[in-house]
Structures are given as C-alpha cells and as structure tokens.
Structure 1
Amino acid sequence: MVFDLQQQHSTLCYYVQNVFDVAEINTRLQNHSRIEKPEELLEMFPLFYSIVIHFDKVSITGRDQAVEMLLQLISLEMIDVQRQIHRDLSIDDRRFHLNIIKMLSCLIAEYIIRFDNDQTNKSLDVDMPPSKKRKKAKASKTNEKSSLTSDSLRDKCLKGLCDIIRSHIKPLWDPSIIDEQFVKCVTKPCYHLIRRTDIAKNPIVKENLPLILTIMINKFEHAR
C-alpha cells in the first residue's frame, strides 16, 4: 500500500479524495458513534489519514481518541477474522479481510512513527474542545493527564500492530505470494525504533518489536 494516498497511484491503492482540515477532524472525532463492525473503517479511513497529514496540528487528546478508535477496529477485525478464517472463505471475503488488515496495519504503523517523531509530548492539550461525553465525565487526575504523551500513544500503537501480526492472518494471502508492500509497511516502524539507542529500556517496545520482526521473518519471508 502506498501511503501518499492523495495521489491515485493505481487501482490497487486506496485513494483518499478529500483530506479533512483540523477543524473537520475535531468535529468528526467529537461526533463519532460507537464502533460496532470492522468494516466501518472503510468510511472512517479518510479521518485517520487526515490526522496523519495534520499530525502536528491535531491535539494530543484528539490523537489519543483516534488511537482508541483504531484499537477498537483492530480488536473487532481480529475477532471476526479468527472466527471465519477456518471456514472456506470466498475470494471476495478473503480479499475484504485482507484489505481491512492492510489498512489498519498501515495506519497504525504510520502513527507509531509520527508519535515517536513528536518532540512535544504534551500531557494535556486544550486545542480540541471536549465532546458531549467528555463534558459529563469527571475531570481526570493530574497523574492520569501526565500519562497522555506521544510515547505512551506510540506504545499503544505498537501493541496494536503486534496484535495484528501475531494473529492467524497468513492464510488470507495466496501461499505463492510474498506481499512485499505489506512487509515493508509493518517493518518500517520497527527499524525506525531500532535506530534509537534508548529504546531498549522501554519494556513495551522490548517485548513487542522483536516479536513483530520474528513473525515477519518466519511467516512473511522478510529479509530472506
């Protein structure tokens, strides 16, 4: 998957025709309803992609909300695909799940890199007005607010990517095909993090990063 999705490179690439501005991103985040099915990603993808484009301008609370939505979609898709993968899936069903998994993987991988590159690590951002649900919720404690950083969100995304890769998804691909674009998409944030000399001290990265690379080597023939 090519991640410059504002240009229609080919019919095999998902094409985002309209990129939302920051005001529209905030509005859509505030008004989003409960996610119930993984296929909702098809409608929500432009929102997640727009956040990538305007990443530095979207508040930390907005980015946190987007991450939680992505993790919900990952959980729903992994449950759904694990339930169906042992059946005799039609070509269309297999392609559908494969597309959802690729889209989720590319988004979460890109978020990992963006969060890691973010140097602000603000604990609280007031740029995004609270949603109706947030207005009713009690104010968070100071120590809870301070935990909302780019590093913590990066780690959540890394765990989400690992949840995808460690699931039984390989049968969705034709056995004779090595999906180099998918492999590159998944391993890119791993090598990005490896370059950091201090990253080995992070227990979440230490646990998930080697596991992702090991699975990509053993099941997806990475670096062979």
Structure 2
Amino acid sequence: MPRARSSCAEADLYPAVKAFLEGQGYDVKAEVRGCDVVAIRGDEPPVIVELKLGFSLALVLQGVDRLTLTDRVYLAVSRPRGRRGRRGSVLRRDVRDLCRRLGLGLMTVAPGRSPGCVEVVVDPAPYRPRRRTASLTRLLGEHARRVGDPNRGGVTRTPIVTAYRQEALRCAILIERGGNASLKALRETGLVPNAPRILQRDVYGWFRRLQRATYALTERARQDIGRFAASRALPELASGATIRD
C-alpha cells in the first residue's frame, strides 16, 4: 500500500509558537488585524510573528510590512527535517544575514504544542554592518588596475578578464611578438611591472620556460590569445610595442 503523505499547514505551527511565547509571559492571540500572531507583555512593544511553512520572498515582504507596527517581528517557518533539510534554505547563513540586515527575527517550528518545538535562529535587532576592510581594498584595487571594461555584466560560464589576466595577456602578446623573452626584457618594456611573478606562477598554463629567466608561449596561450581577441577582450597594447633582448 502507498504511504500516506504527512501534511502540515501553517496553522499547525501556531500551538508551539503560542506555547513558546506564553512561557515567556506574553498574552498571545492569533489573527489580529491581519497579523498571524500578536503577543503582548505589559507595556512592552508587541511581538508579531508571521507563520509560513517555508522561507520565501513573500514572507520577507510580509515581515518588512509588519516593521511599520513594531520592531519585534519574527518570521516563523517549519523546521527542516533530516540532514539534507538542515542544509536547506532557512538555515543558510545568507538567509540569517538577510534577516539581520532587515531587522527581522527568525524562528523554526516543529509542529506540536511544546515550547521546545520552537528554536529562535535570529532575534530582531538594529543592523550594524561590520565593514570588511580587506575585501573593500581588494575590490577598489581590482577596479583601479583593470584597464577598460573587458567583461559583459551578467554572463556565466565565461572567463572573467581580471586585472591580473590582463597583465598575463600583455606578457603573452609581447612574448608572441618576439618568439621568446627574458624576464629582464619584459620588465624593461614598462608594460608589465609584475612580469616575473606572472611568468613564474603561470596560473593559466601559458608560459614555457626555455632556460633560466627566459620563456616562450605554450599552445594553450596561443589559443587563448585568439579567443580573447575574438571577444575583443585583449588589453590595449601599442602595435609597435615589442621586446629587445
């Protein structure tokens, strides 16, 4: 016989949320002026809880609307089941961060009537972002070093032309024009200040070491130069720029 599917409705979350809030001294009532749950304790601002089986944009928008009534708004969703469920959307870090940024609380609920069925994941509080100085420095540095705008915003599965890749392409083009090149000659062009580091690391598999401090191109480099040329993503390099050993 086929197994009967277990069904759960938003209303099944209410008893546990009610018991949880009553356990903290709140007077709890459901469906008050469009709010799923309203809890009052003395002269404190009310707590509003919106119930949904899953986390969604509609629930977030509902919570944001309730912030016009009180700063103490929780989004309550059904607790994910099993290991796979616990890796689900509601427990993801970016979901928690979103709630914090918006000043919303977040709780998960297992159907039942026990306060223990409720787990508070995030409490509502004013958001005070902590600036990631190192990340900002890298962002600004990449923007400043990148020449022109070689990429198309929104594309996927396409190599991004970073400032580092542009410098590596300059190295490759100069070597292609000369057949091979020494680190000294590349450095003396003034076009690629980081040439020694780029050639020695060889991130893209473009450079073949002929002898100490002298390099030629690999076949992969020639293919990639052609591919970037076809997409008009090659860095500007004067036609007369070349290397002299």
Shared topology, TM-score over 0.5? no
* TM-score relative to the length of structure 2: 0.20
Q: Which has the higher contact order (CA 8 A, sep 6+)?
A: 1
**Structure with more helix by fraction:** 1
Higher strand share: 2
